[in-house]
Amino acid sequence: MAGSAGSVRRRILRVDLTTGRATVERPEPHFMRLHMGGRNLIAHTLLTEVPPGIDAFDPENRLVFALGPITGVSVPGGSRHSVGAKSPLTGLFGESEAGGYWGAELKRAGWDAVIVQGRAPHPVYLWVHDDEVELRDARSLWGELTGPVEARIRADLGDPQVRVAQIGPAGENLVRFACIVHDLNEVAGRTGLGAVMGSKNLKAIAVRGTQPVTASDPRAIAGVARWVAQETLAPGEPHHRLHTWGTGAMVKSKQLEGHLVTRNFRDGRLPGGDQVDALAIQELTDHEMDRCYACSVRCKKRVKITRPDVEVDPKYGGPEYETMAAIGPNTGVVDVMAVCKGHEMLNALGMDSISCGATIAWAMEMVELGLMDEHRLSGETLRFGSADDLLRVIGKIASREGVGDLLAEGSLRAARTLGADAEARVVHVKGLEVAMHDPRAMPEMRRNYPVTPTGGDHTGAAGKRSGLRNTVGLCHFLQYDESTTLTLLNASTGWDVSPDELHATFERGITMARLFNLREGLKPEDDRLPDRLHQPVRDGPLRDRLLSRDTVRDEVRAYYRDHGWDPATGRPYADTIEYLGLGSVAAAAQATTFVAERREALPAGRPPYAPQPEENGAPAE
Amino acid sequence: MTPPLRVRVRPYADLARYFPGTGAVREVDVPAGATIQDLLERYGVDAEPRLTLGLNGELAQRDAALAAGDVVDILVPMSGGA
Ligand code: SF4
């Protein structure tokens, strides 16, 4: 039975750090339904508010924390939100997701989003307590690790339940892959959003809310929650597997199949590489499983190690698969204890594990090939397989010390200072280091990486399933089919969204992100995979398999066509823009010159995009 | 009559529930001439929708013939991760 309640607040908090003013915006109901949240709300904000061509560290850049309409509803997976800005790493659409509790807390405080603009004259943090909003002095927190900062903010506010999103020293130092850390272990990792936050002198956003999020149809929500709880108890079901081992339990099969990401995507397997997996972490460390808001799956590791040679603090969680691979086999490191330590350091310093690990792996290859000279290394050693080198350089990147200053620029910028041979070995798409799923072996990733608006990002904004999860605020790991996602959306909000409208929401999100990227200079030739991924791996069963450039180019064109964009230029067609209700957005964004005209008119009544696009993106399991 | 073959199975994670015994490595007997598929059927693991198989540390297919002392890895697709 649908009631009058609903999970959308229709309230956006805007904070101008230059003037210190906070304002409340009340979008029309129609606007919230059109753009919903997550990626879509971010793309709309960036398109309509960020002046074309500005530097990502310009105060005019926007930093958007966007919940989804489901975020904060008491259902497994209803914990997600996205953060977005123009990316300092790619110069394009920047966006990344996080789970945990912070997003649900912001919804409980009565908000759907926070938009931050300007630059504070000195470090501050934002305190949001329901309707009370305050900028507080953070000068004494600047330079501190995330763990002590969370504790001090909670003490300062006298409430241990305050939820904190923050940057670490890496964000302050404008490391281009700095992340935003929520609850110490939930990071909006990709595309360097922590550096944007640092450029604004914003150390943290602390949130406390006291207003329950009431779904419109609580019975429907409870039914889905019950189903997940049952599945979580059933051996062999994906939810049960996730509950028992968390992520990172497929490293052994990657190794056997020959696509374990190894030594800067060069090799394909690594002796001992399969020891860096979730089962080894369970066996060798003192660990327990934790959860995000309202989630019975409880897949989040908390790793504690107390040994004479290594200590790891469980408050920073534990490594997920991407981290295990990125700072494990990709750097040649097979010491699982060192990987757990590296994870703790990354969350304490506030850096994206994928970009950081990939940049270090690239640098290790440069040293091996003699492409990075002594002067640039400034006394540092960087050897594949050395856990000591890995951990030391993680610290130096965050503080931009020695060679860390070069690596803090990300692998592509660093490579460009070394020359063409170095650049040819960077494993990136659009400047974003590629995530730890090898597209030479995984067709869904092969289709995804070249066209995802953020670059080499595995969470797959390019695909309908993952794109919609992001927009509505649902965790990708939940085994919800599209109809359950729709049930959750309508039962949360009280809306009557149809499957077609949901599909249009997805198309609207990727088309806005596309327009933003085109306006910021993206060319169709940027929708590609790097050279390394068109070479076979050096070892294992896939060593003779070559991924052709034609395959990728054909798939990119098919992707353009399926989404109502010109297959030659990747520019959205005018009828797509019109069908999605984006005409005024394109005009306000000064992006109409990036819209293409279709040569032959569409048959009447047919949507300008394919009814069921090929699925790109994150593997369902 | 040809004696059965004794092979060692390493069932990954919750696949252990299909095999008798405890521990990471389980010793099982299969008829002479058996393939990995025969082994999977015998213990009911073939019902799993997607499996990755290894024979003595190398990727293997279901029709691979087994020899005494072989080590068989049986894995299921597990979660990815952020
Ligand atoms: S499945 Fe895991 S990551 Fe997703 S919401 Fe639940 S606990 Fe969090």
Write out the two tokens for A491. 């039962």
Instruction: Specify the amino acid at residue A106.
Output: L
Establish whether residue A291 lines the binding site of ligand 1, counting it when its CB lies within 6 angstroms of any ligand atom: yes
| Residue B71: predicted pLDDT | 96
The Cα A27–Cα A40 span in angstroms is 14
Ligand 1 atom at minimal distance to the Cα of residue A298: 7
Among the partner residues B58, B73, B81, nearest to A320 by beta-carbon distance: B81
Evaluate if residue B80 carries a pLDDT over 70. Answer: no
Among the residue ranges A36-50, A61-75, A536-550, B44-58, the one predicted with the least confidence is B44-58
How sure is the predictor about A150, in pLDDT bands with cuts at 50, 70 and 90?
very high
User: Ramachandran region of residue A376, left (φ > 0), alpha (ψ -120 to 50) or beta?
Assistant: alpha
Lowest-confidence segment of A23-32, A103-112, A433-442, A465-474 by average pLDDT? A465-474
pLDDT confidence band for A460 (50 / 70 / 90)? low
Contacts of B79 in chain A (CB under 8 A): 238, 241-242, 245-250, 299, 321, 477, 621
Pick from A409, A495, A521: nearest CA to A178: A409
Q: Which residue lies with its CA nearest to atom 8 of ligand 1?
A: A292
Identify all chain A residues contacting B48, using CB atoms and an 8 Å cutoff: 236
At A375-432, the pLDDT tens digits run 999 999 999 999 999 999 999 999 999 999 999 999 999 999 999 999 999 999 999 9
| Interface residue of A233, A251, A252, A279 to substitute, partner B, most B CBs within 10 Å | A252
Residue range A70-83: mean pLDDT, rounded: 97
Instruction: Using the predicted structure, report yes or no on whether residue A621 has a pLDDT greater than 50.
Output: no
- Nearest residue, CB atoms, A247 vs list B12, B59, B81: B81
Residue A618: per-residue pLDDT: 44
List pLDDT tens digits, range A197-247.
999 999 999 999 999 999 999 999 999 999 999 999 998 888 999 999 888
Percent of chain A scored above 90 by pLDDT? 91
The average pLDDT across A73-85 equals 97
Count CB neighbours of A249 within 10 A: 29
**Which pLDDT belongs to residue A521?**
98
State how far the alpha carbon of A75 is from the alpha carbons of A6, A223, A229, A489, in Å.
14, 9, 10, 11
How many angstroms separate the CA of residue A236 from the nearest CA in chain B? 7
Q: Which residues pair with A218 in a beta bridge?
A: none
What's the whole-number mean pLDDT along residues A127-156?
A: 98
Average pLDDT, chain A: 95
Task: Mention every residue, 6+ apart, whose C-beta is less than 8 A from residue A278.
Answer: A245, A246, A247, A248, A249, A251, A301, A321, A324, B78
Strand B5-11 vs strand B26-30: parallel, antiparallel, or unpaired?
Answer: antiparallel
First to last CA, chain A: 33
The residue to mutate among A70, A74, A101, A242, having the most atoms of ligand 1 within 8 angstroms of its beta carbon, is A242
pLDDT average, residue stretch A284-311 = 95
| Domain annotation for chain B: domains and CATH numbers | 5-75 (3.10.20.30)
Residue identified by tokens 């002046």 is A51
DSSP code, position A274: G
Q: What pLDDT score does A615 carry?
A: 58
From edge to edge, which strands make up the β-sheet containing A286-290?
A286-290, A300-306, A311-312
ipTM of the complex, rounded to two decimals? 0.89
